[in-house]
């Protein structure tokens, strides 16, 4: 019979499999990974040749070598930050954004606020 800790561990692993990123997650990335994700977030989808082109256009001290780029893309794909479609030079990379939680506000909140504002006397 599974215990509470087993169930929680399974939930954590399931969440990790969902992957994706939030804005707060970017701060925890290694510099090379963060650089790639910042590029990817601007376009949400890039081909491998386009990534190479953008990297080559960066100032020299900010550029990643092809090996560093390939390793970083592999890491980001394995960690579900990016989704890779295809292989090698024909690969297309997409950002894997997490689903946002739905609003927990009551459905009538806006009408309640409107009513409160109508009841408030106007300043003259």
What CATH number is given to the structural domain containing 62?
1.10.10.10
| Any domain includes 108 | no
Print the domain residue range for 73: 10-99
Place of tokens 């009841």: 119
| Any domain includes 123 | no
The pLDDT value given to residue 69: 94
Residue 67, Cβ neighbours under 10 Å: how many?
A: 8
Q: What is the pTM of this model?
A: 0.61
- Number of independent structural domains in the chain: 1
The pLDDT value given to residue 98: 64
| Any domain includes 67 | yes
Residue 102's pLDDT band (cuts 50, 70, 90): very low
Span 64-84, pLDDT tens digits: 999 999 999 999 999 888 999
The pLDDT value given to residue 100: 44
């Amino acid at each position: 019979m599974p215990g509470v800790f087993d169930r929680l561990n399974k939930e954590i692993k399931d969440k990790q499999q969902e992957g994706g990123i939030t804005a707060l997650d970017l701060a925890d990335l290694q510099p090379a990974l963060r650089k790639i994700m910042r590029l990817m977030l601007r376009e949400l989808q890039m081909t491998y040749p386009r990534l190479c082109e953008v990297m080559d256009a960066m100032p020299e001290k900010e550029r990643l070598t092809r090996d560093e780029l390939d390793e970083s893309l592999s890491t980001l794909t394995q960690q579900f930050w990016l989704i890779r479609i295809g292989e090698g030079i024909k690969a297309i990379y997409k950002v894997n954004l997490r689903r946002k939680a739905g609003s927990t506000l009551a459905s009538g909140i806006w009408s309640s606020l409107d009513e409160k504002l109508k009841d408030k006397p106007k300043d003259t």
